Every structure is written in structure tokens, then in C-alpha cells.
Amino acid sequence: MNMPPSLTEAARAIRAGTLSPAVLLENCLARMQGEDRDLNAFVTITCGSARSAVQTVEREIRAGRWRGLLHGIPIGIKDVIDVAGVPTQAQSRQLEGNVPARHAAVVRRLVDAGALLVGKLTTHEFAFGTPSWGPPGPPARNPWDPARFAGGSSSGAAVAVATGMALGAIGTDTAGSVRSPAALCGVAGLKPTRRRIDTAGVFPLAQSLDAMGVLAWTVEDCAALFAALTPQPETGVPWLSPEGFPLLDSDLRGLRVGVVRHFFEKDAPISVDGSTAIDDALEVFRAMGCHVRDVILPPLREWNAVGMIILLAEAFAVHERWLRERGDLYGDQVREPLLLGALIDAADYLEAQDHRSRLTAVLDTTFEEHDLLVTAIQPGEAVPIGAVPKWGFLERPSYGIPFNVSDNPALAVCCGFGRQGLPLALQLVARRHDELTLLKAGHAYERTAGWRRTRPAGKAAGGGHAATRDIGTDPRPME
Amino acid sequence: MTMPDPRIDLDAEDRAVRLIEQFATRGIRLSRRQATELASVVDRLHRLKAIVRDGAEGSEPRQP
């Protein structure tokens, strides 16, 4: 099977009439059939309703009513986000039988844009903790090596777009949950400024940290999704063509890039390969004319402690009643971490929020002299899936959580491959609401570095995995 | 052969019992296994709280 197109390539071809959305959809469904037995990206495949919708899309496009760049594009949705008539189970027995009547706000926008919803994507239970092994389904696996961790918690989203089962995916990010799986699966993952994408209809993890996010094969694809899901950034600079395609090509000369090196060299050292890949990426930024220099922020452990205290306290507030009344319905890997939040009192929580303000002020000051920050997002290549420790979040600081604490937009971009042949990534961060600079810088790096020429090797054939459900309105057997 | 230090076991046991009581006041029943597991990570939670309170440097163990 040929390499799948990127989202924007597909959109241009659909617009030009050289690619049929029905053919594109069948291509994605065939990839699911071939790959998802091993990878578990989807908990529900909605191929019946997608096949029904694509007929309308084909008619509209033939009649000259192209709705924009998501028209006819297959998209997957993380299973904490409501799609009307499709179960939202958040990988938990707590939500068994939960079928929402309404779309989440983000799904409504996708549907209005003419996107084809191909299914609900695997997550960790309630988007927290480590891979969920118990019912309702197994964890997603890394498409570069199915014995490896796919990251979390938007794991199915990253796997689906890496393999071309979907051309874009919607996830959520509370402590790196879009950027980490994107990094480990070798795709692009954008966590915008909080509330840039509406969270209505999304099961919360920790409301003052939660952000929606998008994952796709390229940064340009992420920009396309972001553009479709939010009003244009208020920068005064037009960044979409009249047809709605992102205008990301730009001259980065003079861009001031700060490297938060102590996060990944001193505070929580990453692998040698990871560190080398980031240094190589910084050379690419220098070659593009950026001014690159190291910056010092408060230690990573401080950001992590503040973020984790807030996360645990807010998550416990969401789940307290169920923990009291039916705690046995949680999986072991998430119940005890949620319970830990009961040991955080109001004074601890308020102290963390106060400390959060101080950390954010330091970062804001740093952004007075820099346009972009660069740091790590993962310690290295993906580890074996069974080696992810349940209490790892208390042991090793997260490189993602600082920018949930500060609410800056952040982007994970592939920056090479390690000695085990698995993807490595860097994290780019911009000023609050300045997603445009972030996306332009990520796009320029991606184009120059050339890592998008390699995709995970897929299987030629196979069948859907046993736990995957198809609740489509008129499901046909997959060819 | 080294015998386990009984004080460590008693402390762990004591911590687990206290957690069971503490959660019971909020109407949450903890099994002994859950309480033991939580007791084993409570120190790490307190360390996070200390970092929030004192900063990463201030929470370092004091050098003699």
C-alpha cells in the first residue's frame, strides 16, 4: 500500500478533484483492518456512518460546494470526547453504556467542516496514569514497534495518524498527553493555549490544566486542524489562504530561540541520542538564521511538583463521588493515583496555584527576550509497554507539564530516530496565543530536516482486533 | 542472614492503618492492599508538597 497522504496533501487533492474522499476513506479503513489488530488505536470504528457521510461529501464536492480543507478528511476522536450516538467510555468501566446524545463542541466544528469521523481512539483510563490493560480494551501500541509504549494518554490518536488510519486526530493534553504520544510515535502534536479549542463535551481530567490538542503527520496538518477548530489567532497577520490553507512558509531569520537545556541535561537528563538529536535540530534553526542561546528557568522539578499537586487535587475532585460509591469499577492503574489526590488539602492546592503564578511570571519575562523556546518532551525512545511504572509520574518529572502550568502553546516535532530505530522529538513553545509563530517554526524545521520521509512499516493484511466495535449505521464488511 | 528491621514493618503497617482511617472519614473504603500501596508513595507526595512550599532548592535534604 502506498504511503498515505498528509492531511493537507489530501485536502488539496480533494479540492482539485484528483482524489475522491470515498477512495481516501476506504484507504484509511483498509489500514485499520490491516494494522489495528496489533496496534489497538481504535476502541470504536464508525465506518458505517463515515461511509454514509462520504456519499454526501462526494455529492457536495461534485456540485462545487467544497466546505474547506477538512471536507472529506478522515479524523479520529480520543475517547474522552463526546460524539453523538457513539459510546464515550474513557477506557473505563465507570462509563460503560454511556452514549452521549450531543457532539462535543470540537466534534460539532469538525462535522460542520465536512470531516469524516472514523472512530473513537484509545486512551489511558480517564486520560490519566499508565496504559490501561483491563476492560474495555487493551492499550494502544507503538506503530514503530508494537512491543513498545505509544505514549499517553492520547495514545490511539498518535498511532492512528502515524499509520494513516486517520489523517488527523483530536486529543487532550493535561500534562503532555498530546505531545508525549506524538513524540514517541513520530508525529506532530499541538497543544494550543487553553480554551483556544472549546472543551465543552470533553470528560475533564484537571480543569485548570486541561487543553484540547491536535495530532497529525505534519506540523502543517496540525495547523490545518487548529485553523478549522478555532478562530484565526489575534496576531493581525493573515495566516490562511483564501481557501483556508495554512500559510506557514516564512523567513525565520532573526527569530530569537531560547533553549531550556537544563531541563533535559541537568534536571532530568535524557538519552544521549535524544540530546544529540536536539542539538542537531538547533543547528537547523541556526542555519535558518535564528539566534539560538540557552535560557534558565526554574528547575523542572518545581514545575512538575506544582503541576502534579494541582492535577491530583483537581482530578480527585472530579472522581471523589465514584471513588466513594463504586471505586471497584476503576482499573488498578488509575484508582490509587486518583486516591492520592485526597491527601492534598486546600492549603496545599492554593499554595500550588500561587506558586504557579510565580513560575508563569518567570516564563513571561523570558518571552520578553525570546520568540520561541526549545526543550525535550520525552527522555528518549519508547520503552517496552510493560515497563511503564504505575507511579512513574511521582518519580520522573514531565517535560510537558510546565507549559500546561503556564498555559503556553507547545508543539512536539519529530527530530530523528534513536539507535533502536524509534522516533525522537523536540518540544517548541511560544508565547500564549502565539500559535502562529510556533507552527511556522515547527513547519520550517520539519521541511528543512526532512524526517517526514519515513513512516512506520505497516502490515499488508490482517483483521480488526477483537475489542474494536463498529456501531456504524450501515456497516459493510471491510474488504 | 539479615532479619528485616521490625520498626520499618511496623511503620509501614501503621501508615496503612492511618490511611484506612483517614479515607474512611471521607466515606472511601480502602482495602489493606490499597492502603499499603498508597502508604508506599505518600512520602513522594509529601516531597512534591515540600517543593511547592519551599522551591526545588529549599526542599533538598540539608547537608551536614
Residue A335 near chain B (CB below 8 Å): yes
Give, for all 479 residues of chain A, the pLDDT tens digit: 577 789 999 999 999 999 999 999 999 999 999 999 999 999 999 999 999 999 999 999 999 999 999 999 999 999 999 999 999 999 999 999 999 999 999 999 999 999 999 999 999 999 998 998 877 789 999 999 999 999 999 999 999 999 999 999 999 999 999 999 999 999 999 999 999 999 999 999 999 999 999 999 999 999 999 999 987 655 566 788 888 888 999 999 999 999 999 999 999 999 999 999 999 999 999 999 999 999 999 999 999 999 999 999 999 999 999 999 999 999 999 999 999 999 999 999 999 999 999 999 999 999 999 999 999 999 999 999 999 999 999 999 999 999 999 999 999 999 999 999 999 999 999 999 999 999 999 999 999 999 999 999 865 333 333 344 444 433 323 32
Is A394 in Cβ contact with B44 (below 8 Å)?
Answer: yes
Rounded distance between C-alpha atoms, residue A217 and residue B23, angstroms: 45
- Residue A459 pLDDT: 53
- Residue A263 pLDDT: 98
Considering its fold, how many domains does chain B have in total? 1
Is A336 in Cβ contact with B34 (below 8 Å)?
Answer: yes
Is A394 in Cβ contact with B41 (below 8 Å)?
Answer: yes
- Residue A237 pLDDT: 67
- DSSP secondary structure letter of residue B64: -
A406 is catalytic: no
Cell numbers placing A157:
490518536
Structural domains of chain A sorted by starting position, each given as residue range(s) with its CATH number in brackets: 8-470 (3.90.1300.10)
Residue B56 near chain A (CB below 8 Å): yes
Tell me which chain B residues have a C-beta less than 8 angstroms from the C-beta of A391: 41, 44
The Cα-based distances of A81 to A87, A102, A125 in angstroms read 10, 11, 13
> Model's pTM, two decimal places?
0.93
The Cα-based distances of B25 to A100, B18, B28 in angstroms read 34, 11, 7
Do the domain assignments include residue B27? Answer: yes
- Residue A475 pLDDT: 33
- Residue A465 pLDDT: 36
Is B53 in Cβ contact with A342 (below 8 Å)?
Answer: no
- Residue A234 pLDDT: 56
- Residue A71 pLDDT: 97
Do the domain assignments include residue B64? Answer: no
Do the domain assignments include residue B29? Answer: yes
Shortest Cα distance, chain A CAs vs residue B52, angstroms: 6
Largest CA distance in chain A: 62
DSSP string covering B1-62, please?
A: -PPP-HHHHHHHHHHHHHHHHHHHTTT----HHHHHHHHHHHHHHHHHHHHHHHHHHHTSPP
* Residue B35, domain extent: 8-55
- Residue B59 pLDDT: 54
Between strands A372-376 and A423-429, the pairing is antiparallel
- Residue A423 pLDDT: 98
Do the domain assignments include residue B24? Answer: yes
Do the domain assignments include residue B61? Answer: no
Is B26 in Cβ contact with A339 (below 8 Å)?
Answer: no
Do the domain assignments include residue B23? Answer: yes
Do the domain assignments include residue B62? Answer: no
A92 is catalytic: no
Of A308, A320, A391, the CB nearest to B48: A308
A390 is catalytic: no
- Would you say residue B3 has pLDDT above 90? no
Give me the catalytic one of A6, A132, A153, A271.
Answer: A153
| Closest residue in chain B to residue A341, using alpha carbons only | B45
Tell me which chain B residues have a C-beta less than 8 angstroms from the C-beta of A339: 23, 28, 30, 34, 38
